[in-house]
Structure 1
């Protein structure tokens, strides 16, 4: 498991397996967010399995699938609402963690400076600098 903290509220991770969820609960995570569509690729755990494991270990489960490379403003809106309302700390996952980070960056640009968002993502191992124009647009929302 590769947990990458972004800020005090959220960390991101590549694909999580059902066996990882007990450890996430032990580490103190309260909410597990799946940004990966079910069945995106062969061999990935089913969302039903992950949801059951999350509930078994007392984590709130949020399924918010987003297509890779096709993040819409409506996806950002839903993520922004979710991250502000979810019990923290939150861990969000997708195939590599990039989708979750992009969702976080675009939603965070509404409330923080673009430079701060880019820096936090970079510290977590993700380069979102290519999203700077779109983040600047988000700041007006």
Structure 2
């Protein structure tokens, strides 16, 4: 499992396996967020199996599938309160971790400077500089 820490409240990861869930709990994560639709790719573990494993080890489970390359404002509107209210720290996953990072960045833009968001994402291995216009739009909706 490749975990990339964004900050003390959220980390992201590429697709996790059922076996990774217990390790996430052991590492101290409290909430597991799936931003990947079920059956997006052949061989992907069923989300119901990951959910069952999460519940078995006491993790809160949030299934919030988002289409890759098509994150809408409505997706951000759902993600923002979820991440704000989730028990921390959160581990969010999708195919590569990028989708989760973009969702976090767009929701964080409502309260955090773009430069701080870009830095945190870059430190986690994600270049989200192309999001600047959308982040500015989100910031205007504070």
Are positions 1:125 and 2:137 aligned together?
A: no
C-alpha separation between the residues in 2 aligned to 1:106 and 1:69?
14
Structure 1's consecutive aligned runs of 4 or more residues displaced over 6 angstroms after TM superposition are none
Q: Structure 2: state its 5+ residue gaps.
A: none
Aligned residue number for residue 85 of structure 2: 85
* Structure 1 residue 140: Cα displacement: 1.0
Matched, 1:33 2:33: yes
Partner of 1:44: 44
TM-score scaled by length of structure 2? 0.98
The CA deviation at 1:8 is: 1.1
Cα distance in 1 for residues equivalent to 2:79 and 2:12 = 13
What per-residue deviation string (whole Å, max 9, x for no partner) do you get for residues 94-123 of structure 1? 000000000000000101000110110000
Structure 1 unmatched runs, 5+: none
Report the alpha carbon displacement of residue 128 of structure 1 after superposing the two structures with TM.
0.4
Taking the aligned partners of 2:8 and 2:139, their CA distance within structure 1 comes to 21
Please report how far the alpha carbon of residue 21 of structure 1 lies from its aligned counterpart in structure 2 after TM superposition: 0.7
Shift of 1:80: 0.4
Q: Structure 1 residue 126: deviation in Å?
A: 0.2
